[in-house]
Amino acid sequence: MTPAESSPAARALDEAVRLLQNGDLVAFPTETVYGLGAAARDPLAVRRIFAAKGRPADHPLIVHLPDATALDAWGVTEGTAAVALADRFWPGPLTLVLRRRPGVPDEVTGGLDTVGLRVPAHPVAQALLRAFGDGIAAPSANRFGRVSPTLARHVREELGPDVFVLDGGPCAVGVESTIVDLSGPTPTLLRPGGLPVEALEAILGPLPPGGTRAPGTLPGHYSPRTSLLLSSDADAAAARLVGKGLRVEILRGTDEADHARRLYAELRRMDELGVDVLVAELAEERGLGRAINDRLRRAAWPHTDEAPLVDGHDPSER
């Protein structure tokens, strides 16, 4: 097809590939959240990601791959369950941390001797990766410390109008990928996410939490103006706060998948609406519920030394 015949989506994809080849950044949808991508083999391009996000440069990035055949070019799979997990769960919301191959830039790994790898399932991400033909390093496309974007509009709100965004609509999963570390003697869980931990444990056996430093595992990963109250009885908590004259909303999902999909967009919307307190119901601590609760607890953590807001603490006194 000539450019004149091609669709707007095809032209946007061509432009995105050109930008990546040029060392520039492209925001793109994945099934979990939107990512801010750069050519993973181009150290200068990768540095631009940290500048755009305001993120410390020693935090490692996930390399997104077109398919599992690219795995061995980036990480050491021998002696690990990487190929079995990739066969079973890719494309999908799973990141594998492996010992890295020589030639993976330090800018990507934050100087670690390991690298995080994932094949995303979103059709736009897949089309981009196939057209580009190599790894794309991408963190979530938010400014450092904020919640991840699940709509193209969120990316522009976070990073400004100049960032090139491929619009793939709302993200279907809504929370980031599950990260499993296969670089040590036994597999560990670095982050619960879009792939239920139980599915991994069915193959790997019990997955203890890993000790690797990771920014997504710091408390306080969201800085809303709206206070977030975690409650097991949201209606009662909300009634109590409304009685004090506060503007209150409740966040709960009809099921875990729905809860996860709406979580970050709802946190953003509460700030826009000027809500004083969002009362969120914790999910059951299994499946996607583990990722939902993990993100809720981080978002409820105040950026002071106070205890997180949970039932019993009164946000009007904060």
Residues near ligand TXA (CB under 6 A) are 30, 32-33, 35, 59-62, 95, 97, 109, 112, 114-116, 118, 120, 138-140, 176-177, 179, 190, 212, 214-216
- Minimal distance in Å, beta carbon 13 to Mg ion? 24
Residue 264 CB, nearest approach to ligand TXA (Å): 11
CB of 38 to ligand TXA, least distance (A): 12
215 versus 224: smaller Cβ distance to ligand TXA: 215
Nearer to ligand TXA, 118 or 268 (CB): 118
| Between 137 and 237, CB nearer to ligand TXA | 137
Check if the beta carbon of residue 158 is closer than 8 Å to that of residue 141: yes
Amino acid letter at 308? P
State the nearest-atom distance from the C-beta of 67 to ligand TXA, in Å: 15
Q: Closest separation between CB of residue 234 and Mg ion, Å?
A: 27
CA within 13 Å, CB half, 253: 21
Give me 263's structure tokens.
Answer: 């979580």
Given the complex with ligand TXA, which of 116 and 289 has the nearer CB atom? 116
Question: Which residue carries 């979530």 as its tokens?
Answer: 140
To ligand TXA, the closest distance from the beta carbon of 93 in angstroms equals 6
- Phi then psi dihedrals of residue 236, to 5 deg: -65, -45
Q: Is residue 36 within a helix (H) or strand (E), and if so which, with residue range?
A: strand 35-39
Looking at the Cβ atoms of 62 and 197, the one nearer to Mg ion is 62
Do the Cβ atoms of 280 and 252 come closer than 8 Å? Answer: yes
Which residues does 239 contact at the CB level (< 8 Å), separation at least 6?
none
Buried b (16+ CB within 10 A) or exposed e, 268-303: bebeeeebbbbbbbbbeeebbbbbbbbbbbbbbbbe
List the end-to-end C-alpha distance of the chain, in Å, as a whole number.
60
Binding-site partner at residue 308 among ligand TXA, Mg ion, none, CB < 5 to 8 Å by type: none
Smaller CB separation from ligand TXA, 95 or 226: 95
Strands (E), 54-113: 62-64, 94-99
Comparing every residue's Cβ against Mg ion, the nearest one is: 140
From ligand TXA, Mg ion, none, interface partner of 283 (C-beta below 5 to 8 A by class):
none
Query: CA of 137: how far to CAs of 24, 188, 194, in Å?
Result: 12, 22, 19
Query: Which residues here bind Mg ion, judged by CB under 5 A?
Result: 140
